[in-house]
Amino acid sequence: MKITIEPTGVFETIRQGDSSCYARMWRGTSDKGVEVICWIPLIGAHKDGDQADFLRELNEVKADRHLVSFDMRMIL
């Protein structure tokens, strides 16, 4: 099986048992056309590859921002 994935701007905390990690969501399709979602906490280019180009392209993907509001009376 092979899959082709693209990064999204969505980041989530993934929990498994007692541990958790922060991961980027990637979306794509398998070689047979099945849609897939991947949560990848760490990714990098091979040490022999061009890591600067890879990081630049990955950083060009805009991260989704969620505004949060809270009552200032709750702050001590």
Whole-number pLDDT of residue 58 = 86
Secondary structure (3-state) at 59: helix
Tell me the domain boundaries of the chain.
3-74
Q: Which of 76, 68, 75, 57 is nearest to 6 (CA)?
A: 57
Q: What is the pTM of this model?
A: 0.71
Whole-number pLDDT of residue 45 = 84
Cα(70)–Cα(67) distance, integer angstroms: 10
Look at strands 3-16 and 19-30 and give their pairing: antiparallel
Place of tokens 């180009």: 53
Is the model more confident about 5 or about 44? 5
Residues 37-52 have a mean pLDDT of 87
Instruction: pLDDT band for 5, please (50, 70, 90 cuts).
Output: very high
